[in-house]
Amino acid sequence: MADDFTDSGSGSGSGKEMSTAAQVVSAVATVGVILGGLWLLGDLLDQTPETLGPATCSASDDASPAPRGKVSGAQLCTALNRSDLPELLGTPTEQAVTASGSDNESTWASGTRTVTPEATVRLDTYTVELSASYEDLPVAESVGYLGADAETRTVLGRPAVLYSGRTIAISFGLDGSDPQSGPGGVARRLLVATDPKDSGSTFEVVIWRQDSQLPDDQALFRVAEKVLPTLPGWRTGGL
């Protein structure tokens, strides 16, 4: 959400539309940058699970404080980087290669500041991203902005939507050639309301494959169903 947008003054609905569109564009771009950067990191350091063991969230990530009533990137990283994550993804012989959490702050043209906590865990086959949003935008209102393939679902009793995004493949020119970028593989994304009443806060789980093959939707749902209930802010209550 690093892009700034100018408020057209057409009312609160317009603001929500711009915010949603920015989230989608930014999320896809972030996926691509992370994908390219982690591939580069792995190539340069030659860090393999056999030599290093499972990656852990860094001490600096774990020290990040969470705003009151919200979750931090460090907490997301801890929740996502679970020992059974490879099994949930259908790759039980693998383990985490890198794990990180962050809290990304953006300032809009109107002066509004937003913080997006997110975490990323990469394995050999899959990369998984987990983020939280407090934009006061219910899942039901988001569906129309998330592409023609968006499907409404229910996850653990919460409204949810399943949709696709495209990663960006980045070549850093390690052989002396100029860095290049282009379309990458498909990322499958699951946006889930934090409470059964769909009050406006959401968690999103995203998976994509390093080989650009289509991710397994069942793996995405398995991760969501195990990880989301462990997060601060996963509210209880009936519809």
**Under a CB-based contact definition with an 8 Å cutoff, are residues 219 and 88 in contact?**
yes
pLDDT for 171 equals 52
pLDDT for 178 equals 62
> Is residue 6 included in any domain, yes or no?
no
Question: Above pLDDT 70, what percent of the chain?
Answer: 65
In this structure, of 66-75, 89-98, 204-213, the range with the lowest mean pLDDT score is 66-75
Indicate if the pLDDT at residue 226 is higher than 60.
Answer: yes
pTM recorded for the entire structure: 0.73
Q: Which residue has the higher pLDDT, 89 or 9?
A: 89
pLDDT digits (tens, 9 = 90+) for 109-135: 777 777 889 999 999 999 999 999 998
Tokens 């009533």, located at residue: 69
99-130 per-residue burial string, b: 16 or more CB within 10 A, e: under 16? bbbbbeeeebeeeeebbbbbbbbbbbbbbbbb
> Is residue 42 included in any domain, yes or no?
yes
pLDDT for 40 equals 40
pLDDT for 77 equals 96
Domain that holds residue 85: 12-230
Indicate if the pLDDT at residue 239 is higher than 70.
Answer: no
- Coil vs helix vs strand at 131: strand
Q: Residue 179: which pLDDT band, with cuts at 50, 70 and 90?
A: low
> Is residue 22 included in any domain, yes or no?
yes
> Is residue 225 included in any domain, yes or no?
yes
> What is the domain count for the chain?
1
pLDDT for 97 equals 96
Tokens 């990180």, located at residue: 100
pLDDT digits (tens, 9 = 90+) for 2-15: 333 333 333 434 44
Q: What's the DSSP call for residue 158?
A: E
> Is residue 39 included in any domain, yes or no?
yes
Helix count and strand count (H, E) for the chain: 7, 7
> Is residue 38 included in any domain, yes or no?
yes
**Under a CB-based contact definition with an 8 Å cutoff, are residues 90 and 124 in contact?**
no
What's the one-letter identity of residue 79? A
> Is residue 55 included in any domain, yes or no?
yes
> Is residue 239 included in any domain, yes or no?
no
